[in-house]
Structures are given as structure tokens and as C-alpha cells.
Amino acid sequence: MFQRRIMIETQRLLSDPLAGITAKPDEQNMRYFHATIEGPTNTAYEGGVFHLEIFLPEEYPNKPPKARFLTKIYHPNIDKVGRICLDILKKKWTAALQISKVLLSIQALLAAPNPDDPLDNTVAEQWKQDEKAALETAREWTRKYAINN
């Protein structure tokens, strides 16, 4: 069942691509996906292309995938090693969700950071105390790490 589910999801991702998102399985391991998310328009991440890795545990779809940013990003819900604080990657996961939903949710998180549920407390504090400065830092990191890299 696991293999069939991954095949169906992979075919759906390739035949019906998501706007601003790519995802494809690794040639050596179909449980490991290479993904990119374009920074959403009118955000500090606009113009950036962010690389992620997604790993499907053996218990998938009963357990959530592991997703991590490989591109450095300044965001209150993403820590320094790229781990992501997102409810559907933890307690809100259900087997009805798919890789495409995870990627869309991560893209939405870029458009709407939530400093009240942080993974990086330092970034979250700056976001709360001086959002304008935090957004400028996020833009700077996007230019430095996610544009033409």
C-alpha cells in the first residue's frame, strides 16, 4: 500500500503541478523528495526559490512526512537547521493529507508567519517587537540565500 500511495501522489504532483512548487522523488529512494517553493508574491520571500527535503517514514501515510528547508531562511516558524513548525506535520496530521497539501501549507506559512507559535524564539521576538526590521532581515536573507543560489 505504501508504494502504491507514493506512486499515485508522485504522478499527481507531476501531472498536476502546484503553482510555485515542484516536488519529485529521489531516483535512489522514492521515500525521499526534493522540493522547491517559490517565495509568495508580496512577502519578504518574493523572488526566492527555497529548496526543501521531504522524507516519508515507513509508517506513512499514518505518520506525517518529515520536511525541512535546505535553503537558509529567516522565519519565526523555521529554525536554523530548517525544521518547520506546522501543525499538519505534527498533531494535525491525518492519512487523508498528501505531500501536495504539506507543500501548499508550507507555502502559506511563508505568506503568513506566526510568531506566537515559534520554532525560532529569537526571530519570533524580533517579529513581535519590530516587524518591519524582521521583514527586512527576511528580505535580506532571501536575496542572499534564495535568489540565484
Query: Is 85 designated active site?
Result: yes
Q: Report phi then psi at 53, rounded to 5.
A: -120, 145
Q: Name the active-site residue from 21, 56, 84, 85.
A: 85
Distance CA 59, CA 109 (A): 25
Grid-cell match 508567519, residue found: 113
Preceding peptide of 61 cis, ω within 30°: yes
The C-alpha atoms of residue 13 and residue 48 are separated, in whole angstroms, by 21
Q: Enumerate the active-site residues.
A: 85
